[in-house]
């Protein structure tokens, strides 16, 4: 047998990614933080002052510009959203850029302007940065890496292990838009796809949700790589509960539905970049839902399911037909089928 | 129509479907859904939960990746590591070839990770464009798929011929559905009461293509689409035929399938290819069930051009894909199902392909009986 190597499946955000983490990467982490894998880590603060949340994230996307966003907006959103998922207001970010020889400076300027605009919308600042240039052919135009710090605004902060039986599962709109928009922009699919990425900074939406629900907002997750299926499976596993969602309450736009049907993809496994899944105690679910619907990024919000005591660690879906099926952790890379 | 009323109607339709089957099925009935996309849809919609105990749905050989032989897959991987650019549909990337193959990587995906130039394409025409963009490289398209795919591959070959693209060839491993169904019905130990015929393939070959099966083997056939209502209609058609002791072809997908199919697509396919014997995983060699290049297009045959040897290789140890593809066993009957065979570490192709029946069973079928409580 040949020596095992990294494959694209390891970057898919599903079972293969988790295996890579478990087998090779987790020993690198401080044991206190390796226990629960969250979107951002919490740093203890002096008594009386709020904890800090810290996160770091790398961004590679082809093409650099796609309907609804670009790599710069994606990087800022991805970083601030990871902080927001721990209930933290994004404050300071750092950025590291790996640029490929031959990248037009105008392209770089457009990306930076897009980052600037997104930062302004969030109210966060970049306080440090680094630049490296690699030879032509050794980078995809540019790779970005960002770290972020934010102050946690609620105690206890939302965490993937805090889901409780009875919690209502909420999401702020249709799923799968980002993954399909980027795929359609990158590949010659042979059919037109009118889908825009949902890429958006979520802090202000999350802030209104926390104002309405406070500590009753048990879990927040942005279902990025691996889609809603991966996010819900992680939460079910970390909280040792079952989760049931209803197909009838999930929204999938016609463009995403059509592309998924043709390519053999499940919209539940497609990446989002402007969505937040919230697990909220039943007594505050309506208040949080109303707060979400009053926000521009939450008009399409809905309660899509709830936490159950049976089937711990598993995610079930009640279909439009009233039948039930399992929603499994996606495996790895999305590969279009032969038809 | 509002979303809510559509959902209500679907639950109602499911409820009626369940009641009608409960009345109609008065003996054990075994139906085969031939097509992998049907297997996926049946799992995704949880349709098996609506069936009475006496009605069994078996998955058939209609998953293109799954019926590709271990020898063909190993030859494709060998080709990828020989320095040519290999273009393929995504489904092929993670299918394991023969594992006892010296130092060769076991999948196209791993060959790519080790440096082979393997590119996932969405259309065979992209392979023509890649060949034009790299005139100094040999480009091979992996032609895997049934009558749905073969006409598009033939169209790409015709386009390359017209534009005189000298560096493109095709590894033609296409397979034809009707001859495989004949072989299946003839094989001992396969007792089927009806065939749920594929939707996409039938748009090309037409509903009439199943008439000889009905005449010769007296087997009820129903062509179905992929929406839950269309699959339910197909199953009801078959059960009604079985009950009445009749056999005919019901076209329950008339919005897409004509009796004669798509003559233009068939003409394109047969301009480039001619029927030839080919070997199917699980079914063995079947006369005229594959496609070989016609003389005029011989130059596009990757097997001849690159001296590819397609060996007869056994199934991977512990793999029962062959029996699963014949409907002889269900995925769960395979001793490798779940351990060690899982989507991220597949032993056989039925666990890899998005249309594989083992993948469908793994993805959708793992519920304990008490959780499968139906609300319809």
Each domain of chain B, given as residue ranges in start order, spans 29-369
Residue A48: Cβ-neighbour burial (10 angstroms; 0-12, 13-18, 19+):
exposed
Q: Does B375 have pLDDT greater than 60?
A: no
Could you tell me which of B67, B115, B121, B117 has the C-alpha nearest to residue B95? B67
- Torsion sign (Cα): A170, A174, A179, A182: negative
Per the listing, tokens 């002052």 go with A49
Task: Look up the ipTM and state it.
Answer: 0.82
Cβ-proximal residues to B131 (8 Å cutoff; 6+ apart), any chain: B85, B137, B139, B160, B165, B167, B168
**What is the mean pLDDT of the segment spanning A82-108?**
97
Q: Which of helix, strand or coil describes residue A171?
A: strand
**What is the mean pLDDT of the segment spanning A37-54?**
89
**Within an 8 Å CB–CB cutoff, is residue B171 touching chain A?**
no
B29-369 has CATH 3.40.50.11740 classification: yes
A286, two tokens = 């309506």
Q: Does B371 have pLDDT greater than 50?
A: no
Interface test with B, best of A227, A325, A330 (most B CBs within 10 A): A325
**Within an 8 Å CB–CB cutoff, is residue A127 touching chain B?**
no
**What is the mean pLDDT of the segment spanning B344-371?**
79
**What is the mean pLDDT of the segment spanning B31-57?**
94
Report the 3 state secondary structure along B113-168: HCCCCEEECCCHHHHHHHHHHCCCCCEEEEECCCCCCHHHHHHHHHHHHHCCCCCE
The DSSP H or E segment spanning A235 is helix A227-239
User: Would the CB atoms of B7 and A320 count as touching at under 8 Å?
Assistant: yes
CA distance A48 to chain B (A): 46
Distance of CA A1 to the CA centre of its chain: 36
CA distance A89 to chain B (A): 36
Question: Taking CA B341 as the corner, what is the angle to CA B335 and CA B343, rounded to the nearest 5 degrees?
Answer: 145
Interface test with A, best of B122, B149, B360 (most A CBs within 10 A): B122
Q: How far is it, in rounded angstroms, from Cα A192 to Cα A168?
A: 36
A120-123 long-range Cβ contacts below 8 angstroms, 24+ apart: A121/A201, A122/A76, A122/A80, A122/A90, A122/A201, A122/A203, A122/A204, A123/A90
Q: Is the separation of the CB atoms in B177 and B62 below 8 Å?
A: yes
Bridging pattern class, strands B194-197 and B29-35: parallel
Q: How far is CA B323 from CA A338, B38, B118, B185, B282, in A?
A: 22, 19, 31, 14, 6
Q: What is the mean pLDDT of chain A?
A: 93
**How large is the C-alpha radius of gyration of chain B?**
21
| Chain A partners within 8 Å of B159 (Cβ) | none
Measured between CA atoms, the residue of chain B closest to residue A315 is: B367
| Chain A partners within 8 Å of B89 (Cβ) | 336-338
Percent of chain B at pLDDT exceeding 90 = 77
A19, two tokens = 């295996």
- On whether the pTM is more than 0.80, the answer is yes
Q: Is the separation of the CB atoms in A300 and A172 below 8 Å?
A: yes
Q: How far is it, in rounded angstroms, from Cα B182 to Cα A106?
A: 62
Could you give the maximum distance between any two Cα atoms of chain A, in Å?
A: 61
The DSSP H or E segment spanning A25 is none
Q: How far is it, in rounded angstroms, from Cα B154 to Cα A27?
A: 52
Instruction: Assign A198 a pLDDT band (cuts: 50, 70, 90).
Output: very high
User: Would the CB atoms of A336 and B91 count as touching at under 8 Å?
Assistant: yes
Of A262 and B178, the structure prediction assigns the larger pLDDT to B178
Measured between CA atoms, the residue of chain A closest to residue B342 is: A331
User: Would the CB atoms of A338 and B343 count as touching at under 8 Å?
Assistant: no
pLDDT of res. A2: 60
User: Would the CB atoms of A321 and B37 count as touching at under 8 Å?
Assistant: no
A40-152 has CATH 3.30.1330.10 classification: yes
- Torsion sign (Cα): A242, A247, A253, A256: positive
Question: What are the backbone angles phi and psi of residue B189, rounded to the nearest 5°?
Answer: 85, 0
Of B10, B64, B91, the CB nearest to A321: B10
Over residues B208-241, the pLDDT tens digits come to 999 999 999 999 999 999 999 999 999 999 999 9
Of A339 and B252, the structure prediction assigns the larger pLDDT to B252
Q: Is the separation of the CB atoms in B128 and B98 below 8 Å?
A: no
Q: Does B79 have pLDDT greater than 70?
A: yes
Q: Return the CATH number of A168-326, one of 3.40.50.720, 3.90.650.10, 3.30.70.20, 3.90.1150.10.
A: 3.90.650.10
Q: Does B1 have pLDDT greater than 60?
A: no
Of B30 and B189, the structure prediction assigns the larger pLDDT to B30
Over residues B129-146, the pLDDT tens digits come to 999 999 999 999 999 999
Q: How far is CA B30 from CA A105, B39, B179, B191, B285, in A?
A: 65, 15, 21, 7, 25
Interface test with B, best of A323, A327, A329 (most B CBs within 10 A): A323
Q: Where are the domains of chain A?
A: 40-152, 168-326
Percent of chain A at pLDDT exceeding 70 = 99
pLDDT of res. A335: 73
Of B89, B105, B373, the CB nearest to A2: B105
Of A316, A322, A325, the CB nearest to B376: A322
């Amino acid at each position: 047998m040949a020596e095992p190597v990294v494959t694209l499946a390891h970057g898919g955000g599903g079972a293969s990614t988790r295996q890579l983490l478990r087998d090779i990467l987790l020993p690198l982490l401080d044991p206190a933080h390796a226990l629960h894998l969250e979107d951002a880590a919490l740093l203890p603060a002096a008594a009386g002052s709020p904890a800090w949340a810290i996160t770091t994230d790398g961004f590679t996307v082809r093409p650099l510009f796609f309907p609804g966003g670009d790599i710069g907006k994606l990087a800022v959103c991805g970083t601030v959203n990871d902080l927001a998922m721990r209930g933290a207001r994004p404050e300071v970010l750092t950025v590291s850029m790996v640029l490929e020889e031959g990248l037009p400076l105008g392209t770089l300027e457009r990306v930076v302007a897009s980052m600037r605009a997104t930062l302004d919308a969030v109210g966060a600042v970049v306080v440090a940065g680094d630049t490296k240039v690699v030879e032509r052919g050794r980078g995809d135009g540019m790779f970005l890496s960002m770290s972020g710090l934010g102050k946690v605004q609620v105690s206890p902060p939302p965490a993937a292990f805090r889901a409780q039986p009875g919690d209502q599962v909420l999401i702020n709109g249709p799923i799968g838009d980002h993954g399909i928009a980027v795929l359609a922009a990158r590949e010659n699919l042979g059919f037109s796809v009118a889908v825009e990425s949902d890429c958006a900074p979520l802090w202000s939406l999350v802030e209104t949700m926390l104002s309405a629900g406070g500590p009753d907002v048990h879990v927040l997750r942005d279902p990025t790589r691996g889609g809603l299926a991966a996010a819900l499976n992680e939460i079910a596993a970390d909280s040792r509960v079952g989760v049931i969602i209803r197909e009838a309450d999930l929204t999938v736009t016609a463009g995403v539905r059509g592309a998924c049907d043709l390519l053999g993809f499940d919209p539940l496994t497609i990446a989002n970049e402007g969505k937040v899944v919230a697990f909220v105690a039943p007594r505050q679910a309506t208040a949080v839902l109303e707060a979400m619907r009053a926000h521009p990024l939450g008009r399409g919000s809905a309660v899509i399911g709830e936490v159950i005591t049976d089937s711990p660690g598993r995610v079930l879906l009640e279909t439009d037909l009233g039948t039930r099926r399992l929603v499994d952790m996606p495996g790895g890379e999305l590969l279009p089928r032969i038809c | 129509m509002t979303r809510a009323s559509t959902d209500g109607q679907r639950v109602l339709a499911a409820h009626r479907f369940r009641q009608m089957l409960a009345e109609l099925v008065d003996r054990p009935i075994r139906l085969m859904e031939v097509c992998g996309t049907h297997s996926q849809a049946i799992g995704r919609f949880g349709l098996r939960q609506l069936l009475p105990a006496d009605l069994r749905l078996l998955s058939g050989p209609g998953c293109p990746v799954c019926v590709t032989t271990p020898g063909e897959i190993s030859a494709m991987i060998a080709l990828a590591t020989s320095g040519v650019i290999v273009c393929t549909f995504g489904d092929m990337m993670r299918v394991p070839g023969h594992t006892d193959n010296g130092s060769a990587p076991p999948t196209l995906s791993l060959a790519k990770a080790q440096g082979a130039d393997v590119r996932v394409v969405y259309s065979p025409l992209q392979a023509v464009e890649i060949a034009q963009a790299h005139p100094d490289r040999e480009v091979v398209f992996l032609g895997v798929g049934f009558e749905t795919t073969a006409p598009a591959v033939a169209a790409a070959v015709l386009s390359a011929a017209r534009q005189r693209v000298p560096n493109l060839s095709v590894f033609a491993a296409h397979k034809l559905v009707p001859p495989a169904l004949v072989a299946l019905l003839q094989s001992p130990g396969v007792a089927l009461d009806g065939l749920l015929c594929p939707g996409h393939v039938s748009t090309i070959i037409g509903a009439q293509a199943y008439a000889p099966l009905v005449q010769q083997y007296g087997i009820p056939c129903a062509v179905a689409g992929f929406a839950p209502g269309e699959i339910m209609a197909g199953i009801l058609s078959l059960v009604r035929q079985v009950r009445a002791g009749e056999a005919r072809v019901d076209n329950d997908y008339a919005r897409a399938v004509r009796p004669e199919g798509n003559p233009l697509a068939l003409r394109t396919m047969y301009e480039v290819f001619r029927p030839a014997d080919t070997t199917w995983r699980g079914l063995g060699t079947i006369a005229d069930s594959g496609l070989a290049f016609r003389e005029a297009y011989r130059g596009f045959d990757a097997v001849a051009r690159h001296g590819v040897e397609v060996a007869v290789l056994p199934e991977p140890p512990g793999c029962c894909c062959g029996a699963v593809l014949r409907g002889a066993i269900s995925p769960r009957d395979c001793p490798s199902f779940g351990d060690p065979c899982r989507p991220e570490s597949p032993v056989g192709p039925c666990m890899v392909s998005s249309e594989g029946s083992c993948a469908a069973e793994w993805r959708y079928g793992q519920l304990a009986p008490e959780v499968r409580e139906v609300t319809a």
